[in-house]
A = this chain, B = another copy of it.
């Protein structure tokens, strides 16, 4: 690994000034065809690769955005990431994908290091930070868009979680279920709060307040769902339906039900949320609420681009509608 080739080396080789090389490389400003060729030749010969660090320092742009998610292994976020990337790459931006592992502390350090990298923008999915910490962490960032979370003054792309939960619970009620438990997600999850709200409101309206204890929180993944369902079903065997925070949790619940000898859907109905690809593949396939994940990412990136563009219009709030998907786990 010899010393890196710099723009000065190229300039010397091609017999022009550094500025001219810069013009050729970035296609900015006029350069005669013959010098352009000479420069490109030198670039190829030497294997010159401009330093993004130096360029970023000089231009105050890095052509990079940060995308922070709680769990890359969750297909939900993988979908969002695809949406973001598609637009980003088309616009010449790189995407720096960061994984917090559902850990707020890690989320904080990640946000900090993205700030030090001087990313041009930030998309933050389902932040698990308390509001005060979140606001503090974002105050020095430039363009920022939140996904699945809102915060006064920031652009956001959201799902109408409450409506989704309402649809699911109403569906369960119409299927004759009366003792509906809920496996909720993290307390700091904005989506979870809204889904709980929806759940409660339907029960209230039907004149059947939620029984104390029928709601249990668990980690928003398969293992968490399994353990949560076991705990919940052993404590309250009378439950005839489980409204799960998301599909992964529902998959865990499905597993737990099998282990406990409860048959789904006859004996116990189970619903998820998100409609990840896996949902349709389970036995029985999951009744869930489909969320347009790709659009979430896509819209978030568009909003971010507006903010970066500076037209100050990127702070709106976009709400996407989820859609009830009825399958075998709760027909």
A residues near B, CB below 8 A? Answer: 1, 47, 49-57, 62, 64, 72-73, 75, 78-79, 81-82, 85, 89, 94-99, 101, 106, 112-113, 115-118, 139-140, 142, 222, 251, 254-255, 277-278, 281-283
B53 near A140 (CB under 8 angstroms)? no
CB distance from A246 to the nearest CB of B (A): 15
Give the chain B neighbours of A53 by CB distance below 8 A: 53-54, 56-57, 62, 117-118
A99 near B116 (CB under 8 angstroms)? no
A1 near B116 (CB under 8 angstroms)? no
- Other-chain residue from B54, B72, B79, B97 in contact with A57 (beta carbon distance below 8 A): B54
Give the chain B neighbours of A64 by CB distance below 8 A: 117
A49 near B281 (CB under 8 angstroms)? no
Docked complex Cα distance between A109 and B36 (Å): 22
B97 near A52 (CB under 8 angstroms)? no
Give the chain B neighbours of A73 by CB distance below 8 A: 75, 78-79, 82
Nearest opposing residue in chain B for A60, CB measure? B4
Give the chain B neighbours of A50 by CB distance below 8 A: 116
Docked complex Cα distance between A113 and B65 (Å): 13
Give the chain B neighbours of A222 by CB distance below 8 A: 277, 281
Give the chain B neighbours of A57 by CB distance below 8 A: 51, 53-54, 57
Docked complex Cα distance between A81 and B100 (Å): 12
Give the chain B neighbours of A81 by CB distance below 8 A: 72, 99
Give the chain B neighbours of A95 by CB distance below 8 A: 98-99
Give the chain B neighbours of A97 by CB distance below 8 A: 72, 96-99
Interface centre among A49, A73, A101 (most CB of B within 10 A): A73
Give the chain B neighbours of A85 by CB distance below 8 A: 99, 101
Docked complex Cα distance between A210 and B182 (Å): 52
CB distance from A188 to the nearest CB of B (A): 21
Give the chain B neighbours of A62 by CB distance below 8 A: 53
Docked complex Cα distance between A277 and B223 (Å): 10
Nearest opposing residue in chain B for A109, CB measure? B89
B49 near A112 (CB under 8 angstroms)? yes
CB distance from A180 to the nearest CB of B (A): 24
Nearest opposing residue in chain B for A93, CB measure? B113
B277 near A117 (CB under 8 angstroms)? no
